[in-house]
């Protein structure tokens, strides 16, 4: 979303006064730093370097401001995910591409991602908007999985809805790990590995091939070495 701009975004930049945009950015900043609770309009205003009242010139109230932050960021993300999910390619390719999208979003704008991640499961007051957005995303993935299942790319017994939910759970947790400092967000090496594992994990889980314990996988590996055409990404 924050990326290139259609004429729409251009509008936002020029006609609709960059003030509004400044305030939006400031809101993301404060929101990410202090969370939904500690986010006061006064902070946003001073972060943006504008007068308190101006915030209300551009946004009806606090809720609308936060809602806009959420919607803007989320719709950008979801648009890209949709492009992948509904595009061409094998399930494996799509899963990897979605991981790409997610990590790229993080690289470009960690603040926004943090806000989305942290506030995702929340429905403050009575707002259902976020749940809806999230549910939609899962629906989107469910469809992708449905097609994949038709192509025989899925183990037949998986529940699609649940699997889709868990995929997002994985993405969320990968980021949570970042946000919590369990993985150094600065190290592109680590990021790359995390991304890779995200896809790998979703597709194949963590268990050694075979169900056996012991070092059975070693033998298995030998055996399968001959016929293993696919596995590992080059």
3-state secondary structure 33-91: HHCCCCCCHHHHHHHHCCCHHHHHHHCCCHHHHHHHHHHHHHHHHHHHHHHHHCCCCCH
Angle 23-26-32 (CA atoms, 0-180°, nearest 5)? 140
User: Residue 75 binds what, of DNA, a second copy, none (CB under 5 to 8 Å, by partner type)?
Assistant: none
3, 5, 61, 224: residue in contact with DNA (rule CB under 7 A): 61
For residue 128, the 8-state DSSP code is: -
Work out whether 52 is an interface residue with DNA (CB under 7 A). yes
Q: How far is the CB of 90 from a second copy (least distance, A)?
A: 5
**Residue matched to tokens 């597709």:** 203
| Cβ distance to a second copy smaller for residue 58 or 70 | 70
Q: How far is the CB of 110 from a second copy (least distance, A)?
A: 15
26, 32, 39, 138: residue in contact with DNA (rule CB under 7 A): 39
The stretch among 58-66, 81-89, 103-111, 182-190 that binds DNA (CB under 7 A) is 58-66
Query: 87, 108, 102, 233: which is closest to 170 by C-alpha?
Result: 102
Q: How far is the CB of 35 from a second copy (least distance, A)?
A: 6
């Amino acid at each position: 979303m924050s990326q290139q701009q259609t004429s729409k975004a251009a509008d936002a930049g020029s006609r609709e006064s960059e003030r509004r945009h400044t305030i939006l950015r400031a809101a993301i900043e404060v929101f990410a730093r202090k969370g939904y609770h500690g986010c006061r309009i006064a902070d946003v205003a001073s972060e943006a370097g504008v007068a308190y009242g101006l915030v209300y010139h551009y946004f009806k109230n606090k809720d609308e401001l936060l809602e806009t932050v959420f919607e803007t960021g989320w719709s950008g993300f979801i648009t890209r995910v949709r492009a992948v999910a509904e595009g061409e390619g094998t399930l494996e390719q799509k899963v990897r591409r979605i991981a790409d999208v997610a990590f790229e979003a993080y690289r470009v704008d960690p603040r926004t991602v943090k806000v989305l991640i942290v506030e995702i499961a929340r429905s403050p007051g009575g707002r259902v908007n976020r749940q809806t957005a999230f549910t939609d995303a899962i629906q989107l993935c469910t469809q992708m999985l449905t097609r994949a299942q038709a192509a025989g790319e899925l183990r037949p017994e998986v529940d699609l809805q649940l699997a889709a939910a868990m995929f997002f759970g994985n993405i969320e947790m990968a980021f949570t790990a970042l946000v919590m400092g369990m993985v150094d967000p600065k190290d592109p090496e680590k990021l790359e590995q995390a991304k890779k594992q995200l896809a790998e994990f979703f597709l194949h889980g963590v268990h050694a091939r075979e169900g056996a314990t012991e070092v059975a996988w070693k033998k298995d590996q030998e055996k399968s070495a001959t016929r293993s055409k696919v596995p590992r990404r080059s």
